[in-house]
Amino acid sequence: MYRTAANIAVLAFTVLATPAKDTDWDFLLYNYTADVIEKIEIAPAGSGNWTPNRGELESGSGGKVAVGQKTTVLFDKAANVCRFDIRATFDDRTTAVWSGINLCDNAQVVVFLRGGQATFYAI
């Protein structure tokens, strides 16, 4: 009995002490630009390591987000990374990048273009 309790304690300690791995994260992205978004990609801030929105595949929407609509952006978040860049490709094949968005503290991101500049509001 003592040996079983000791094994359980060691197992519990090992699970609690295991460093965090990449995890699934998501947030809502609202499109308040003037164009349909065809594709969304995300990267750790300043890295340029773009990965596609996995939510596009799961939703069956093909990635399109109409003006005034929202979509769930699903991605892998590495431990200790909170700031991300978001890149959108529009239906006319132009792109915009919103930089340095804190996705640890915000679950909703509203993107828009003001004077041609990528601007966002995070909630």
**Into which CATH architecture does domain 21-122 fall?**
Sandwich (2.60)
CA separation, residue 100 to residues 10, 106, 112 (Å): 40, 12, 15
pTM for the whole structure: 0.77
User: Please, is 80 exposed, middle or buried when counting C-beta atoms within 10 Å of its C-beta (0-12, 13-18, 19+)?
Assistant: exposed
Domain ranges of the chain: 21-122
6-33: pLDDT as tens digits:
444 443 443 344 334 456 889 999 999 9
pLDDT for 34-90, tens place per residue?
A: 999 999 999 999 999 999 998 765 555 567 899 999 999 999 887 889 999 999 999
